[in-house]
Each structure stands twice: as structure tokens, then as C-alpha cells.
Structure 1
Amino acid sequence: MFKLEFKKAVFNKRMLGVIVLSMLLLFFSAYNSLLSSFAFIDTSADDLTGEDIEKIYEIGRNKYHILVESFGYMQSVFIFFIVFPYTASYVYERNKKYHYICGIRVGMNKYLSNKLIANSIAGGLALLIPDILYYIIISLTARNDILESFSFYPVGLYSNLFTASPDLYLWIQFFFHFILGFCFAMFALGFTSFFTKQILVYIIPFAVYLTYDIFISNNPFLKKYAITNMYNFMSSTTYSLFDFILLNVILAGLGLMLFHINKAVVLKNG
């Protein structure tokens, strides 16, 4: 049953749409901040020497420069991309009374547990898969040189690792994105499990996230716990590994608690 639930959560058109849109946003962010000025230039200009062109290409076509500058646009929509692939499936199936059939086949407890875990994995993969695919494409098409001095570089958590081992640093960021997506998807499913309209499953988590981030960002002591701050792994200088773990544990814990309450209601009332 879990295998089927996992396939439904990951291999669907909504996930494909999230992957494609995410990769486009990653590219357009890099294009706007770096590629348009350094990679796609008119090399026939009279005032450019061969050395000038090579220097421009060294900066603008470097894989690591491109990746560092690729996540600006995603910070505006990543929450929506986390919940879009599968979070609304629970409300849909409950409205269609499909959860009764699943409850008869495997037991309601197992059905709900499978739904929660599969949705959480889908939320994590919604951030991780585009990161990895984009990384592969950039690795195959850009210069993979580890420069003595990078012109574009991260300043956030573990940024000192970037100079010596930029690929390892990037994979750490991808892992952090997966954890954030996993935990927020769990929170979103728990929070929206009480609603009956699918549209609210997409609107409410984003509204909660936005309200929370605006409120907490105005507090100098708590702003490091802003969810956007956690996604901005490369540029956020205010949070530690402990802060990241704490926020995600709280998100997952709230999701589990709310979903458990909803499960008790479903088991009692149907």
C-alpha cells in the first residue's frame, strides 16, 4: 500500500510541473543576476581583448558561480511547490469517500500513516529533484573549474566549505532543502486535514507561512527562524544547524499532532 501511495505522490503531473517550473526559475534567476552580463555577451565588441573575453567567461560560465546565483526566484514560491504535488490528495480522497475503501483494505491507521509519509517525501522531493537535475545540467554545460578566488560565493551556513569543496557544499544545501520540504509538507497536511475544499490546501499553508515569516522577521531575536531564511541556505548568516533542526522538528511535530487529531476525528465520525 505504501509503495502505491508513494508512486501516486511522486509520479504525477503536478510533480512534473513543479520540477519544470523550478528549473526554469533557477535558470532565470542565474540569467538575470549573472548570465546576461557575463555569459551571453557580444564578443565582437572592439573594446574587448582576448584576455577580457576569457576573464568574462571564467566568471560568467563557471558552474559554481551560476549555481550560487540560481536560487533567488525560488524563495518566493518554494512553499507552494512543496504542497502542490500531493498535499491536497487527502482532502480529495476524503471528499470522494475513497478513504473508506482504503480503510477497509489496509486499515484506517495504516492508510493515514502512508498518506502522511508519502506526502512528506513528495514535499522534500519537490525541492530536491529540481536541485539535482539543474545541478547535473549546469555541470554538463558550464565550466567546472574550482577557482582560487570565486567572484560569487555563499555567505551562510558552512560557506567556508565552498572554497575547498563547492560540490560537497551544494549537496549539503540540497539535503537541507529536502528536509525543509519534508517537514513543511508534513505540517501542511496536518494543518489542512480539517478542511474540505482543495483550494484551501494550497492557499492556507502559503498564507500561514507568509504571516509567520512577516511576523517573526520583525523580531531581531527570532527572525533567524523565518522559513524563508532556512531555504536561503547560501545567503542566511543568522541561523545555525541547531536552529535549522529546531524549526523543522517543530514543523514536523505540529503536523503530526494536527494530523493525529484529525485521524481521531475521522476514526470517530468517518
Structure 2
Amino acid sequence: MLKIELKRALLRKKFLIIIFIGLLIELLSGYNAIHKFLFFDYNAPDIQSPALQASARKIVQDGLNMYSVWFKSLTLYTPLMPIIAALPYSLSYLEDIKNGMVKYIDIRTNHKKYLFTKLLANGLAGGVAVSFPLIILTIIVSIFFSGSINDFFGKGAYGGVFANLLIYNFYLYALVHIIINFIFGFAYSSIALAISSIIKNTIAIMISPFLFWIGADLILQFFNVQSYLPTSINQFYLTPNVTLNEILVELIFITFFSSAIFILKSRKRNIYE
């Protein structure tokens, strides 16, 4: 049954479009940050001395540093991750209810098995949707850009709790970052699935993870719980005081809490009443 659900989630044009949109957002963000370096005018009259030319080339070289390009490409993408996580499959339960498929499934299999399979397939789809564009971005940046960590303006600051890993090996850091993004996508897609068992408004379902991301952040700021701010968790690479334990605790809590709501609200008696 999981195989069928994953095929529904991943082998659709919609999923490929979501991946493309995610990558496009990253590329546009990166381009916005580096276009001034790509088209730098070395013939400008105010930088014609050898010293100024050398200084200008150094500035351009640092601006096109692979570390800088990679992180700048995340600027627009990171705040949109909650919505991207919800896009692939979070409406599937609502679709099953509307077209009567859930009744057919209940005849053939255990209802609880169906719900757990739906949770897993939705989470995997959300995780892949959020993390896969970053995999492609990493490959693109590695091919077209180069540079040393020593020339990166964010050395020692970017990477958060993994800043030393970033200094040691960019690709190991990128792998860890991608894995955390996958877990984030899994967790936040569960929010949308849970909401789909409560309301039927598709737009509200799709934006519910983003509203949670903002709303929970405001509430925790009010109570001065800085370590678990949702905005800090998914921007952990900019927040040195957020630990791996705090990242995992929050994302696992969101996953289990959302899953519990979905299972409780999707019981048979709620469907057929």
C-alpha cells in the first residue's frame, strides 16, 4: 500500500513542477545576490589603477565564492519551505474523502494501516520536495563555482552548530543540511495533512504550515523561548545557539503531534457519520 501511495505522490507531473519551482526560487535568489559580480564593469573610470583593479577582482572573486553563492541561494527558499512541504501530497486525504476512495480502501485493508501509510507517504513526499532542490543546487554550485572557505565572508558564522563541519568539508556539511531539510519537510507536511482532516478549504490547508511557522514563532518569542523558534530551527545555519538536539526535538514533536491529530480526526466514525 505504501508503494501505491508513494507512486501517487512522487510520480506525478505536479511533483516535478514543485521540484522545479523550488530549484527556480533558489536559483533566482542566488542570481539576485551575484548578478552584480557576474556583470562587474572593470572598465569603470574610477578603478583604472592597478591597485584598484586588483581590489575589484578580489571583491568579485569573493562574491562568486561557492560558499557565498550556495548560502545566498537559500535566502528566498528557506521561508517558503513550510509551503513547499505541503504542496506534493497533503491534499490526498481530502481527495480520497471527496471521491469516495477511502471507502473502497477500507473494504480492502485496515483503516489504521491506511492512515499510517498516508502519514508516511505524505511525510516522505514533503521531505523530498524540500530537500531535493537543495541537492540539485549543490551540484550546480559545485560545477560552476569554486573558492576557498578562507575567502568566505561567513566563515565561522554560517553553518550554525555545524560551522566547524562547514570549515572542514563543504560536502559533508551540505549533506547534513539536506538531511535536516528533509526532516523539516516531513514534519511540516504533517501539519497540512492534519489540518486536512479538520477543514476542507484547500488554500487554508496549503498555507497552514506557513501560518504555524509564523504563529508559533510569535508565541514563543512572547514567552522568550528563543531556542525553539520555528524561524530559527529552519534557519539553523544562521543561528549558532540552536543545537542539533533542539532541531530534532522540535521537528519530531511537530511530526508526532500532527500525526496524532490526523489519526484522531480521521477515524472511521468521523468519516462515515
* TM-score, reference length from structure 1: 0.89
Residue type matched to 1:45 in 2?
Answer: A
Task: String of CA shifts for 1:61-100, please: whole Å, max 9, x gaps.
Answer: 2211111212111233211111011101111111111111
Residue type matched to 1:163 in 2?
Answer: I
Structure 2 residue matching 1:99: 3-state secondary structure: helix
Aligned to 1:129: 132
Where in structure 2 are the equivalents of 1:11-26 lying within 5 Å?
11-26=11-26
1:155 is displaced (CA, Å) by 5.0
Mapped partners of 1:127, 1:170: distance in 2 = 14
After the TM superposition, which of the residue ranges 96-105 and 199-208 deviates more from structure 2?
199-208
Residue type matched to 1:179 in 2?
Answer: I
After the TM superposition, which of the residue ranges 41-50 and 64-73 deviates more from structure 2?
41-50
Where in structure 2 are the equivalents of 1:105-116 lying within 5 Å?
105-116=108-119
Q: Does residue 201 in structure 1 map to residue 200 in structure 2?
A: no
Cα distance, 1:168–1:19 mapped onto 2, change above 3 Å: same
Structure 2 residue matching 1:237: 3-state secondary structure: coil
Do the aligned partners of 1:60 and 1:66 also contact (CA within 8 Å) in 2?
Answer: yes
Task: String of CA shifts for 1:85-126, please: whole Å, max 9, x gaps.
Answer: 110111111111111112223332222221110000011111
Q: Does residue 179 in structure 1 map to residue 183 in structure 2?
A: yes
Q: Does residue 188 in structure 1 map to residue 187 in structure 2?
A: no
* TM-score, reference length from structure 2: 0.88
Unaligned 5+ segments in structure 2 are: none
Aligned to 1:213: 217
Where in structure 2 are the equivalents of 1:59-208 lying within 5 Å?
59-143=62-146, 145-153=147-155, 154=158, 156-208=160-212
Task: String of CA shifts for 1:242-261, please: whole Å, max 9, x gaps.
Answer: 11111012101112211221
Mapped partners of 2:154, 2:261: distance in 1 = 42
1:149 is displaced (CA, Å) by 3.9
Mapped partners of 2:44, 2:149: distance in 1 = 26
Structure 2 residue matching 1:194: 3-state secondary structure: coil
Mapped partners of 1:203, 1:69: distance in 2 = 25
Do the aligned partners of 1:103 and 1:109 also contact (CA within 8 Å) in 2?
Answer: no
Cα distance, 1:184–1:98 mapped onto 2, change above 3 Å: same
Do the aligned partners of 2:191 and 2:258 also contact (CA within 8 Å) in 1?
Answer: yes
After the TM superposition, which of the residue ranges 182-191 and 43-52 deviates more from structure 2?
43-52
Counting aligned pairs with the same residue, the percent is: 25
Do the aligned partners of 2:189 and 2:209 also contact (CA within 8 Å) in 1?
Answer: no
1:267 is displaced (CA, Å) by 7.2
Task: String of CA shifts for 1:27-55, please: whole Å, max 9, x gaps.
Answer: 2222333x123233123334255634542
Aligned-pair RMSD on alpha carbons?
2.2
Residue type matched to 1:104 in 2?
Answer: I
Task: String of CA shifts for 1:134-170, please: whole Å, max 9, x gaps.
Answer: 1111111112x33434223415121122122122112
Mapped partners of 2:91, 2:60: distance in 1 = 45
Cα distance, 1:152–1:10 mapped onto 2, change above 3 Å: same
Do the aligned partners of 2:160 and 2:238 also contact (CA within 8 Å) in 1?
Answer: yes
Give 4+ residue runs of structure 1 displaced > 4 Å after superposition. 265-268
Do the aligned partners of 1:155 and 1:237 also contact (CA within 8 Å) in 2?
Answer: yes
Mapped partners of 2:99, 2:57: distance in 1 = 61
